[in-house]
A and B are shown apart, each in its own frame.
Chain A
């Protein structure tokens, strides 16, 4: 297992990701998560145009504080880490994954961009409604035996599998 390998075993990767719970719990007093950072960032940007948004309690509690900005820093770090890894192994990716041409049945980049926007919207609308994503509910919630996370993760896979029926196999 080298830093320049193109791929590592999913088990090694899973253990390393799971170990990140130690600094999260001990240093930040929270569990790993990703999706509330979108509320922090979009709320901060929106507050320049609509200062009234800070009056919404839900937004207000996401705007400031160490935990919120820790999570924003974490997701930005994810991009940096992935970039470093891809550079070391020579797996830097092109414009779009070849999977989409096969799964969507079209090579149009505009179609993919439109779908990417819609999918991102659904990702965060759903994650904020459920109060967590694959990290917060999945990795962290299930490891804390939270019933809300078992329900959310089951529905997440159900929703994903239903939509996948409409995509072509590749």
Chain B
């Protein structure tokens, strides 16, 4: 595929992604900080529903049609430290690397600084990567997935996991209806 075609598809997919992120209000810093303080559950609901949908789609595509998977390598040190640092950033930004762009589109001005800081962070990592490689970014068991670890067919585990998450989401919604978490101005501020 030509780069130009890929860019065209990317922009179209991004527009749908951004439109939906804005409608779900999950791009609001109030939703993210509220979730991390366990007082607002919009983020977890959007996130887990997207995972469930992905599990079913990928379960069908990979399980029944032999579609390829693109899992990432398991590197405990990098996954643990990277995850912790990323999480700290998510709370302080009130955003994830993708939803920063939804904040910018919706009008928040401080989000431009998150974007610039993000580019600086990515560049810093790029320069550090050759040094970090022997310490944190090599070895490990490779691109391990749970189905191979347990010896269960992918589709079976994916569908089972999806059903468990759907049950969890139903329970969460019964316990805490999503409209209660919106706030008066749809920004998660009560």
Chain A positions within 8 Å of B, measured between CB atoms, are 5-11, 13-32, 34-35, 38-39, 41-43, 45-46, 53, 56-59, 62, 64-67, 69-86, 89, 91-100, 102-103, 109, 112-113, 115-165, 167, 169-170
Contacts and interface: CB of A to CB of B under 8 A. Distances in A.
A120 B24 contact: no
13 contacts: A53-B126, A58-B130, A59-B129, A83-B106, A86-B105, A98-B189, A126-B81, A126-B85, A133-B97, A134-B90, A138-B96, A142-B54, A163-B88
Contacts of B75: 131, 148
B70 A31 contact: yes
Interface of B: 1-3, 5-30, 33-34, 36-39, 42, 45-58, 61-62, 67-76, 78-111, 113-127, 129-130, 132, 136, 143-147, 149, 154, 157-158, 161, 169, 173, 178, 182, 185-190
A128 B82 contact: yes
Contacts of B8: 73
Given A34-B96, A56-B127, A170-B30, A116 B3 contact: no
Contacts, number: 551
A135 B19 contact: no
A59 B126 contact: yes
Nearest to B157: A145
A100 B53 contact: no
Nearest to A85: B22
Contacts of B104: 79, 82
B110 to A, nearest CB: 4
B169 to A, nearest CB: 7
Given A86-B106, A93-B107, A117-B113, A67 B123 contact: no
A161 B32 CA distance: 10
Contact of B9 (A27, A65, A123, A170): A27
A25 B36 CA distance: 31
Contacts of B39: 169
Contact of A160 (B73, B87, B178): B87
Given A75-B98, A130-B78, 8 more contacts: A38-B118, A73-B8, A80-B18, A124-B119, A141-B72, A145-B154, A146-B143, A163-B91
B121 A125 contact: yes
Given A39-B122, A99-B188, A131 B73 contact: yes
Given A99-B188, A124-B118, A156-B90, A13 B98 contact: no
Contacts of B110: 95-96, 100, 109, 112-113, 116
Given A78-B101, A121-B124, A21 B53 contact: yes
Nearest to B73: A148
B186 A80 contact: no
B117 A118 contact: yes
A163 B90 CA distance: 9
Contact of A42 (B122, B144, B178): B122
